[in-house]
Structure formats: C-alpha cells, structure tokens
Amino acid sequence: MTTRRRVSIFFLFFAFAAYPALSFASPLKIVNSTNTDIMNIQVSPESGDRKFFIRLDLSPGASADVENPDCRASLRADTGLEFRVFPDVDLADADKLVFSDPPALEIVAKDGNTSRIVGYIKGIVPGKGDRPVCSLESFHPLMPMKDVCELLAPDTPTDDNGALIAGLGFAGLTWAARLAPARDGPVGSDTLLEHLELRRPFSLEDLERALSYLLKKGYVPWQAEFPGRDIDFSTGDAKENEKVLLEAVKNFAKSGAPRPNPADAEPDASIMLAPASLLPALNDGDAPARDVQLFSINLRPASGILLVDVAAYKGEAESPVRTPGSDIN
C-alpha cells in the first residue's frame, strides 16, 4: 500500500484571544504500529479549549514527521472506525510517538527514555444490536444535512476536514459515516452536504451485501482496479460484467485478507458503480441530464476497512430544488 504523506496541522480556534500561540520548537515522529489506519490526531491542550488536528493518513507500518505541539494534551487518534484516546500526554520532551494495539502509546523522549500509556476506545460504528443514529435513504446533490439525518447532536464529533462523524445505516448494515459539509458557513441543520464516506470493518460478506444492495437499486459496475488488473465494465453484457466483478472480488478477498504482518498484505482495490441508465452518457464524457450518485467501494484489507465513498453530481436538466425522500438512485 502506498504511504499517504499529506501531513499538515489544522487549527480549530475556540478562544483565540484567551490563549497564547502554541510553539512548535522541534519535530515529532509519529509511527503507526497498529493494524489499521491512523487518519488524524486531535490534540486538546490542557492549557485551554483551543484544539487542533494533526492530519496524518497513515496506513499500518507507516510513519510521518510533524511539528511537535510542545504541550501537555489529550490525544484522540482517529482510525476511521473508532477513536483511540490517550489522556494527559506530555509532548514537550517527546521525540517519537508509537501507536500500537491494543490501544497503547509509547513515548520516546529526546534523551532516549521511553514511557507507555494505555488508552481507551470510543467506538464510531454502532455495535451489534445497536441501532444507528439514522439510515441513508436518499442522497442527492446539495441536500441539507437534516435530509440525511435530523438527529445529529450539536456535539457530534468532527474530523480534521470538518466532516460530522456519526453511525449511519446503509444496505442493511451499520457504518461509521463522515458527512462533509459544503464550505459556505457554519455547520447546522440547514448546512448542505457535499460528500459522504461510510466505513466498517472489512469482510467479504459485508462487501457482497453492499454490492448486492446497489445492484438491486439499478447500479452496475463501471470500473474496477485490483492488484495487477484493471477492469473496464463500460461495454459488454450487464449480467456477465456482474459475474466477472463478483469473481474478482472473491479472488481478491482470498489473497488480500488481513495478515499478522500488515506489510505482507495485498494492495487495496476499488470498484466504481454508476446507474445503468446513465452509463452511456458517463462513458461518452457527457454531463448527465439528471442528478447522479456514484459509489466507489474501496477494499482495504491491510487496514481492515471497507470504505464506501458517495459522490453526488448535479444533472443539467434537474431543477435546483429537490424534495427529500427520493430513491437513492
């Protein structure tokens, strides 16, 4: 898996005038020794309410160098499926942070001494038997957040991109959802939804269930990428394409199942699906006449994650006003 090295620090200012600027005097190495991704770390300094994020996007076994916040703080590592929380971490003399399983953090000081902190987990995906906050029944361009879920609490956690994080039902499964708002003002019930991501633990059974759900909704495979093999489904018989896709998925799941050493795991794979009725226009590069939702399913066995990425595009012939409750396609 290619290490994603978009590393930067994003600030959320809650009381800017009340607290002096944090200093970043030295580098800090962050190592991901877990069996899953570390997407970002929220840093909550003890000195005040000013929080900020370190964006990492680290796959298992990867590392990155960032600026040391040089403070005592609570750290919340976001794996996409859960938060791993480590209270009261002294970063002032830290040279390296090593995150491991079960939730533990090794702090290597500049003089070489090490200390270890045991953290705790705050789940994002609803547990077995739990009901998700809401279920995804419709998704169209520029829809208000409240059309997706009217029950999002004011203190719903966010990620480093400002996306709201909540449990969501889709395809008969529960997911950790990230609802990214359009960048046109504060997040509220009338905020427009720009992008949606759904994550849950990787399994062949759940992947087949999500695919079956979308196929029944009139979606067909459009393109797919597997290790050493790219598949274009833009031509050919729909039933035959579906058969080819399912066979490729099963072969990938067998070869790419999570392994004891993440570095030995197979690369990722992805599948893009589009409405069958709009596939000719998409293949020709034409703008669709009506709203379209494209689903990209990403298979990440090394990280133990099944990711569904949902993007909505406005059709040229659609009215600018949509009513909620339409079907997903």
Give 77-109 pLDDT, tens digit per residue: 999 999 999 999 999 999 999 999 999 999 999
Give 114-155 pLDDT, tens digit per residue: 999 999 999 888 777 666 668 776 666 677 877 777 767 778
CA distance 78 to 39: 6
What does the pLDDT profile of the chain (329 residues) look like in tens digits?
333 333 333 333 332 233 334 445 589 999 999 999 999 999 999 887 688 999 999 999 999 999 999 999 999 999 999 999 999 999 999 999 999 999 999 999 999 999 999 999 998 887 776 666 687 766 666 778 777 777 677 788 999 888 889 888 899 899 999 988 876 555 555 678 888 999 999 999 999 999 999 999 999 999 999 998 999 998 888 899 999 999 999 889 887 544 445 444 457 899 999 999 888 877 776 666 667 788 999 999 889 999 999 887 776 654 333 323 334 44
Where exactly are the structural domains of the chain? 8-123, 134-313
Print the SS3 string covering the chain: CCCCCCCEEEEECCCHHHCCCCCCCCEEEEEEECCCCEEEEEEEECCCCCEEEEEEEECCCCEEEEECCCCEEEEEEECCCEEEEEEEEECCCEEEEEEECCCEEEEEECCCCEEEEECEEEECCCCCCCCCCEECCCCCCCCEHHHHCCCCCCCCCECCCCCEEEEEEECCEEEEEEEEECCCCCCCCCCEEEEEEEEEECCHHHHHHHHHHHHHCCEEEEEEEECCEEEECCCCCHHHHHHHHHHHHHHHHHHCCCCCCHHHCCCCEEEEEEEHHHHHHHHCCCCCCCCEEEEEEEEECCCCEEEEEEEEECCCCCCCCCCCCCCCC
**pLDDT attached to residue 309:** 94
Contact assessment for residue 180 and residue 145, using Cβ atoms and an 8 Å cutoff: no
Strand order in the sheet with 72-78: 8-12, 51-58, 38-45, 72-78, 82-90, 120-123
Region 8-123: CATH code: 2.60.40
Please provide the average confidence, as pLDDT, over all residues in the chain. 80
Residue with tokens 């949509």: 322
